[in-house]
Every structure is written in structure tokens, then in C-alpha cells.
Amino acid sequence: MAKEAPPTGKSEQFSQSAARLRMHQRILRDFGRIALEDLEVRPLLQRAVAQVARATGVRHTKVMRYRVDQGDLLMEAGVGWRPGIVGKARFGSDPASPSGRALQTGQAVVIDDIRGHSEFRQHPVITEHGIVSLLNVPVTFDGVNWGVLEADSNEPGHFDDSDIEFLEAMAALIAGALQRRDAIERSEAAASEAAVQAERGVVLLRELQHRSKNNLALVVAMLARERRAATAEQDTRGAGRLERLMQRVTAIALAQDRLTVAEAGGRGDGTGTDLAGYLRALLGSLELSLEGKVIIETALEECVLPFDKAVAVGLATNELVTNAAKYAYPEGQEGGAVRVTLVADEARAEAALTVADDGRGIGALPSKARHSEGGGQGLELLGQLARQLGGEIEFESPERGTSITIRFPLIM
């Protein structure tokens, strides 16, 4: 025996409910996609309230943001309201306000007829637009009450369980979009703050560099004055020592200049120094100061060292080249070659600086020269610099001249 068909009224009601549910699902699905786009908050909220109006069949909807400092709920977006309401209207966040009750309890608040309701206060905007029935759901993320989503009807008892479920789902999508936007803003703010802090650090570093450079210039000026005084007193040995000191200070100043230029060009981090570039600048300055006594030939491989290590290599280079210029070739002989090579072995994390000449060699130097400021004390300084670099010195005795190599680790 066939089942009796259900009454037509119930069949139509079931069909309408199914169609309404499918519409809710489509709206939520489409808005979920929109929520993943990089929309600003206001346009996103405006789309949300428009879809709420469509899904619930009402003319008035709004979303309100809770302002802790003001203690109110500000209408951020809405449809159906007269001009001047959206972005201006403020609603209470207290339990006597329907939206405030939803905010305080974290639960949906449904009012079938607010007229003369004993628990709730009727807002002037609600009265002005003839609103009778209200549905409020909270918008919450990260444990924070962001605000309230509300649908308003001019008909009593307009909202049912399906409407409540839809608004709660829509509020969850809004919360997810707001949370994502908040995370992006926090990330951008953190990146901006990090950039500001980094820039402050760069400014401070540059200020320190300028001060260091000024101090070095002052030292050079003092040494120059003392050298002039020694020359005037015919103290040749003292004047020579002061000149060497000036060259050493100049070597440090050149390293400081290289670091400053790298920072200004955005090529440095305040710690690393391009060693090959620094040595080229140093040797160029030395060649000019030696006034043609030697020709400096270079073969320098690129590598980076911390500033203090680069300065030690520069000082060692300065000592070796000036010693070669002074002692390698007999008095009066000019144009002898001094070869400076820098080899960087990245695989072994090691570098080797070699200064070689074709002159007399250390063994051929007079005893007085070997124990002078340029000889004995100069070699003692080389030993100290090698220890500072964590390296070692190698002396070679080719058929002609002298070759000295300092090997040191490449450590940043």
C-alpha cells in the first residue's frame, strides 16, 4: 500500500526551508572566499551586512565595533539606514542594550518585539527606522570581543533558529577575516618597528664612526705636529718613528672609511669589512706616501672579515710594505717591486696574506736595521697582529728578496 503524500502546505514549507538553507550555504561559501582576499576592513564589513540582509530577508543590518576607550559600539557598516548613521551612530555596550547584551554574554540575543520590553532599552535609531525585531550575535576572535553583528526587522518575531545559525556562521567568518587582517597589521607593525630600530642602530653606528674618524684625524694631526717638531730639532730617528705611527693610524682610518662607505651604500651590516677593497685603498695610499720608492703589485681575492680583524690585517700589511720599501732595496734605488697577495680558501675557511720583494732579504740587512723600529720592533708588532688574528707567520727565503706570509682563519 502506497504511503499517503504529505499535505501540500507542509511540502511547500519543507521545500522553502531547503531552498533557504541552500541559499545560506551559498552566501557563506561566497563570503568565505571574499574574506580571504586582501580587502580593507570597511569594504569587507559592508559586504557582510549586505549578505546578511539578503539571507535573512530584512532591510536593515549593521555591524558594530566595540570601542574600549569609549565604552560603546560604533556602527562601522550597515544597509538600510538613512545617510549619516553609518560610521556615526553609537550603541550601548551595557546589558540593557541588545547589542551590548550579546557583547557581554558572548551569546546570540533574539528579541521578538522590543517595544515596551522590560529588559532592553530602545535606541533612537531603532525607533526612527521602525525596527521591532532584533537579532544580535557577537564577533569574537583571540578571546577578544571585537563587536556585534545585528539584523533588524520591521516585523515582530521575524527571526528563527535558521537565522541565528546563519548569523553565527557569518560572524565567525567575519572574525576569521578580522583576525587575519590583525595578524597582517601586527606583522607589518613589527617589521616596521624592526626597520626603525635597525635604522636607529645604523644612525648610532654612523655617529660612532664619525666620532672615531674625528678622533683618528686628531691623533694624526698631533703626530704630524710632533714630527715637525722632531724634524726641526734634527731628531731624524724620532721623526721616522712618528711618521710610521702616522701611517698606522692612517691604516685604521682607511678601514673606518671603508666601513662607513659600505654602510652608506647599504652594502654593510656594521660588522663586516671587504678586506680586498680595504687593502687596495690602503696600498694605494701607501704607494703615494712612499713617493716612488717601490712599485706595489697586488693580487687580492675577495673575502669579508670583522672590522677589528680587517684592521689587524691592514696594520700587518702596512708594516710589511713599509719595511720592504725601507730595507729591501739599497739606498738610492727606486722602483723596486713589492708584491702583495691575498688568497682566500673558503673550503678551509682560511686566508693567507703574503708580502714579497726582490730586495736584499732579511739576512742581508745590517744588524742595526734588523733591530731598529722598522726591523725588530716591526716584527714584534707583526707577531702581536698575527696572534690577534688567530694566525701564524711564515718566513720564506727565496733566491732573491724576502717573502713573509700571515695565515689566519676566516671567521665572522
325 vs 56, higher pLDDT? 56
Q: How confident is the model at residue 158 (pLDDT cuts 50, 70, 90)?
A: very high
Q: What number of CA atoms fall less than 13 Å from residue 313's CA on the CB side?
A: 37
**Of 185, 220, 244, at which residue does a domain stop?**
185
Could you tell me the maximum CA-CA distance found in the chain, to the nearest angstrom? 136
**Residue ranges making up the domain that contains 33:** 11-185
- Domain shared by 149 and 211, yes or no: no
How far is 2 from 139, CA to CA, in rounded Å? 50
Structure confidence by residue, pLDDT tens digits, 349-359: 999 999 998 88
Kindly compute the dihedral angle of the four CA atoms of residues 245, 249, 252, 254, in this order, to the nearest 10 degrees: -120
Which pLDDT score is estimated for 133?
97
- Domain shared by 166 and 30, yes or no: yes
**Of 151, 185, 219, at which residue does a domain stop?**
185
End-to-end CA distance of the chain: 91
Q: Over 50: is that where the pLDDT of 131 sits? A: yes
How far is 9 from 20, CA to CA, in rounded Å? 16
- Domain shared by 158 and 22, yes or no: yes
Q: How confident is the model at residue 219 (pLDDT cuts 50, 70, 90)?
A: low
How far is 26 from 14, CA to CA, in rounded Å? 18
Structure confidence by residue, pLDDT tens digits, 79-110: 999 999 999 999 999 888 999 999 988 899 99
3-class DSSP state for residue 56?
helix
Instruction: Enumerate the β-bridge partners of residue 150.
Output: 62, 136
**Of 157, 185, 213, at which residue does a domain stop?**
185
Q: How far is CA 312 from the centre of its chain?
A: 31
Mean pLDDT of the chain: 80
Q: Which of 286, 299, 281, 354 is nearest to 326 (CA)?
A: 286
Indicate whether 200 belongs to any domain.
no
Spell out the residues 6+ positions from residue 242 whose beta carbon is closer than 8 angstroms to its own.
223, 224, 226, 227, 230
Spell out the residues 6+ positions from residue 378 whose beta carbon is closer than 8 angstroms to its own.
319, 323
Q: Which of 137, 130, 129, 138 is nearest to 163 (CA)?
A: 137
- Domain shared by 143 and 271, yes or no: no
Indicate whether 192 belongs to any domain.
no
How far is 384 from 390, CA to CA, in rounded Å? 10
How far is 267 from 286, CA to CA, in rounded Å? 26
State the CATH number of the domain containing residue 171: 3.30.450.40
- Domain shared by 130 and 273, yes or no: no
Indicate whether 376 belongs to any domain.
yes
- Domain shared by 118 and 19, yes or no: yes
Q: How confident is the model at residue 256 (pLDDT cuts 50, 70, 90)?
A: low
383 vs 220, higher pLDDT? 383
Lowest-confidence region among 252-256, 373-377, 398-402:
373-377
Structure confidence by residue, pLDDT tens digits, 334-347: 668 899 999 999 88
Q: Which of 256, 148, 149, 153 is nearest to 210 (CA)?
A: 256
State the CATH number of the domain containing residue 370: 3.30.565.10
CB of 70 within 8 A of CB of 83? no
Q: Which of 79, 50, 17, 73 is nearest to 170 (CA)?
A: 50
Domain count, the chain: 2
Q: How confident is the model at residue 60 (pLDDT cuts 50, 70, 90)?
A: very high
Helix ranges, 265-393 (H): 275-289, 307-323, 367-370, 378-389
Indicate whether 191 belongs to any domain.
no
